[in-house]
Structure 1
Amino acid sequence: MSAPEGGLRKRASSNGRDLTRPESPEPLPIPLYDNHAHLEFEDGVDQLDPLDSLDRAAAVGVRGVVQVGTDLETSRWSARLAESDPRVLAAVALHPNEAPKLFARGCLSAQLSEISRLAAQPRVRAVGETGLDFFRTGEDGREAQVESFETHIDIAKANGIALQIHDRDAHDEVVATLLRVGAPERTVFHCFSGDARLARVCNEYGWYMSFAGTATFRNAPALREALTVARPELVLAETDSPFLTPEPFRGRPNAPYLLPHTVRRMAETLEQPLEEVCARIAANTERVYGPWDPEGVDA
């Protein structure tokens, strides 16, 4: 297998970080999946090509990845990678921070139509990442974000696939939008950033919560409390790589092969056997996205 020709690789910002790549962790006892990754990014001194990254992940028990788009370019690339490698499923969307810029250029509607076309492809199993981000977007851009989010919700429902939500400083507004428009049957809060209260809301409506490396951070006790409140059948795990590298490597380059650090911390927080947590996360992920290629993930 090879990565898509005419491949897209983006350089992650160093910002003075330690760019050495952590060693591989001990393999997980039961294989599972990375719910959300950005393999298009180059990061670190020892850069991993997407296929090398998938190989390294498989060696530690991360048998598949959901590769996520944030604009048309990365969404097309994600769909192509999913077609070329059975360890990858794709999510396609316009990131909420892109929506105001596209609206100002008069091309938001046209690009949403292209996302709708991509979402119909068989190995595109989610619309994401979409949602609301009030951290980087001010009042003047919120209307475009809401319009984009609502359209993405409709696209997910029309294609019968999952929705991956980016929710930053907008918990109440995201929930209100989902209830107003009607959430897809499988709705995932990517990189869950809420507290126990939001976890209880997700429990009530059957929305999935995907925990990232932030769940390992020393300054995130509220996030770990939310994990203990979340219904076990609604819990997923992700890297959001190359971002949000788990402790003890916070700030260094992230990749799917580092997901075991997060999953181990999740098991410790839940005070449950690691094998049980891994098996449940794997089953939950397959329930959200359907099967990866059986031969591909077992190879």
Structure 2
Amino acid sequence: MAKSRERGWPPDPEPLPVPVVDNHTHLDSIAHVLPDDVPPPSVAAHLERAAAVGVDRLVQVGCDLPSARWTDALLRGDHGAGGVVASLLGAVAIHPNEAVLHGGVREVGPDGLEPDPRPHHATSLDDAIAEIARIARDNQRVRAIGETGMDLFRTGPQGERVQRESFRAHVALAKELGLALQIHDRDAHAEVLDVLSRDGAPERTVFHCYSGDAEMARSCAAQGWYLSFAGPVTFRANDELRAALREVPLGQVLVETDAPYLTPHPYRGRPNAPYVLPATVRTVAEVTGVPLAEVCTRVAATSVEVYGPW
């Protein structure tokens, strides 16, 4: 990873014809992703660079206690956001892998490694979710609970139990507060769908970085849920993901970077940022056969439908 990051930021893409929303990004992780940058780009610099290519609004996601607190402060004008706060909304939650650590579970993953808990993991899961609830209630620019869900890539039975408990609590919180829900689903399609079926999904439910197949996409779309596509939809080998995109009405499609992760082709392996989103948007237009300007217009309108006005 260190070597790939030394390649630096991708070049600026051609601007989009109509501005769009990056509905899932991690600005707290982007600001110092390349330690050799002198000076490192500020949050404001990243937002200005994104706006210049037609990514004029973002949803900043804080999915552990430190990043949720950081997101709360950012939306109030701290962390160098300054006059660009108007382009930001937020989502906060305890990520499923974080929930396991708050729950005191340290299972050895398939890579033979134990997770490395940090000081904030001494907070109980109940108390951690209570803090997420407080932030979401008190900050009017927090418009979603997320990312929450289940991630069974490195999780055994004990961790799965904790993740399910945490996911259910977040679903209930989103419904209580009338907020959208952003779902993290990794190797857990059946489990995530089971929780939503049993507990009932919030009115506005988003599958962040959708990774299911076409059949699941049809099922989710039929429920009125939104599917958000990130860099992987541009990867050459992901024909199945592009097939899934074709199954979703354009009015239920969102786009995201998940920056600094999941950089789209042809810049895979380099750090991602909101200004790189046009590569994914152009792929959505190509795959669906819809003109680029229309895709941008529809995605922007759907973003407001899900998160409210900026």
User: Would you call these one fold, judging by a TM-score over 0.5?
Assistant: yes
Q: Which residue of 1 aligns with 2:23?
A: 35
CA distance in 2, matches of 1:43, 1:166: 22
Give the percent of matched residue pairs that are identical in Structure 1 and Structure 2: 54
- Distance in 2, Cα, partners of 1:200 & 1:162: 20
Does residue 1:231 correspond to 2:249, yes or no?
yes
Corresponding residue of 2:290: 272
Contact 2:4 / 2:269 at 8 angstroms: preserved in 1? Answer: no
Letter in 2 for 1:103: G
Alignment of 1:5-84 (within 5 A): 14=2, 16-41=4-29, 42-44=32-34, 45-46=36-37, 47-84=40-77
Query: Residue 87 of structure 2 corresponds to which residue in structure 1?
Result: 87
- Secondary structure class of the residue paired with 2:60: strand
* 2:277 counterpart SS class: helix
Q: Secondary structure at the match of 1:252?
A: coil
- Give 1:138's aligned residue: 156
**Structure 1 residues 144-177: Cα deviation after superposition (integer angstroms, max 9, x where no partner):** 1000000001111111010000000000110110
- Hey, what's the Cα distance between the residues in 1 that align with 2:123 and 2:273? 35
- Distance (whole Å) between structure 2 residues aligned to residue 270 and residue 48 of structure 1: 35
Matched, 1:111 2:121: no
Q: How many residues align?
A: 280
Q: Shift in Å at residue 83 of structure 1?
A: 2.4
1:159 is aligned to 2:177: yes
Question: Cα distance, 1:48 vs. partner?
Answer: 2.5
Can you give the 5+ residue segments of structure 2 that lack an aligned partner in the other structure? Answer: 78-84, 105-121
CA RMSD in angstroms comes to: 1.2
Q: State the TM-score, normalizing by the size of structure 2.
A: 0.88
Alignment of 1:185 with 2:203, yes or no, is yes
State the AA in 1 paired with 2:275: Y
Cα offset, 1:271, TM superposition? 1.2
Answer yes or no: is the 8 Å Cα contact 1:96–1:148 preserved in 2. Answer: yes
Name the aligned partner's letter for residue 160 of structure 2.
Answer: R
Q: C-alpha distance in 2, partners of 1:40/1:107?
A: 23
- What is the aligned partner in structure 2 of residue 295 from structure 1? none
